[in-house]
Amino acid sequence: MASRAVPNVGIGPGNAPPPDILFGRSAAMGALRKKVDKIAATNVPVLIQGENGTGKEVLARYIHANSPFCSGPFIKVYCAAIPGTLLESELFGYQKGAFTGAYASKPGRVELAENGSLLIDEISGLDMSLQAKVLQLFQDRQFNRIGDQEDRCVDTRLLCTTSRNLRDDIESARFRPDLFYRINVVTICLPKLRDRREDILPLAKYFLELYNFRFQREAPFFSREIVESLENWDWPGNIRELENRIARHVILESEDPASALPTVRTRPPAPTQVVARDGPSPAVQDPECRFGGEEYCAVFARAGHGKASQARLRTSLIRIALARGGGSFILCAIIFPVWPGSRKTWPGQSGMRSRYRASCNRLIIKQLLA
């Protein structure tokens, strides 16, 4: 077998993808890249916000690699995974004899990041008592170890990430406003993967090449149907979910990639008519769509895949059902009680038992067929 060339991908932890893959093709990420390139050469604190799995740490590593501190270490501390009682010693270190078991002095992550970059991941997980000490670090670039009275200075690039809305945390008294204004010099908001669908296919190709190389596999590329499925999926886990799906596909080496990748139904099935003894009645449809099929499909075709589009779709469908029910919301709920593809009922339907609802459905169908 011919030797495989090493792909242009990062192998191993800490290696970021190429910039063209990281920022993709979307207009939103193009504007974000221009902003990032401007701030990377400075030493101002950067706050990176975004949902879980959108690539906040990868972007932080990109900023470090393109900053004056690129020759120094990149140190990360994940606040959400370390209890508050231990996080202070992990960040700032401690002196010998500071507490029971401190048999030797130990530097913290802040000192280890000297002449490099320090990433405080999920800074919203800091306790209020520790936030004051972190504020001093951002404000004066000074800190002191636990059990030490001497202030130490550090020259490091400070980066923060969070998946929470810090303004909401301030209102609920879980985050100090002065610390927020100190770290909020430059804020970068990473978009959700479902909001940059044109980047899904390049990312999928990148991860396929990455894991084929890493696991020494020959997983094939995806069919047109699978590509369409990838581009239409909502990806609630964002890029991390996409990466894990591709990795599973490569590892399992299934003949049909669809068995390891998500499948979506981009359009509902054509509504089937309920045939009466005297012939079909166009007004009566399958129980999942009990009003005009043409109206339903026309409204669905105009809808997008986002939450806002789906909300508008539900509103349009309710209006059609209300018109069919003569303006009665109860009759509307009977005609169309269940959202297609889910078990959720319309508003006001929570008290209706499924058996009673089914009886109402049969009754209305008989009335329409009469």
Pairing of β 117-121 and β 74-78: parallel
| Cα angle for residues 73, 149, 122 (degrees, 5° grid) | 40
Domain assignments of the chain as residue spans, ordered by start: 27-190, 194-259, 273-369
The pTM score is: 0.67
Task: Tell me the Cα Rg of the chain.
Answer: 28
Question: Torsion over CA of 194, 197, 201 and 202, rounded to 10 degrees?
Answer: -100
- Average pLDDT of the segment spanning 324-351: 48
Q: What number is the average pLDDT over the span 284-295?
A: 40
Q: Sheet containing 46-49: which strands, arranged edge to edge?
A: 74-78, 117-121, 157-162, 46-49, 186-189
pLDDT of residue 324: 61
d(CA 311, CA 80): 34
CATH number for the region 27-190 comes to 3.40.50.300
User: Would you state the pLDDT for residue 284?
Assistant: 35
User: What's the confidence (pLDDT) of residue 149?
Assistant: 86
Q: Do domains 27-190 and 194-259 have the same CATH topology?
A: no
* Phi and psi torsions of 76, nearest 5°: -120, 140
The pLDDT tens digits for 84-104 are 778 999 999 999 888 888 889
pLDDT exceeds 50 at position 11: no
The mean pLDDT value of the chain amounts to 76
The per-residue pLDDT for 333 is: 53
Q: Is the pLDDT of residue 210 over 80?
A: yes
What are the b/e assignments for 77-113, b being 16+ CB within 10 Å? bebeeeeeeebbbbbbbbbeebeeeeeeebebbbbbb
Q: How confident is the model at residue 285 (pLDDT cuts 50, 70, 90)?
A: very low
pLDDT in tens, 128-153: 989 999 999 999 999 999 988 888 99
The CATH number assigned to the domain with range 194-259 reads 1.10.8.60
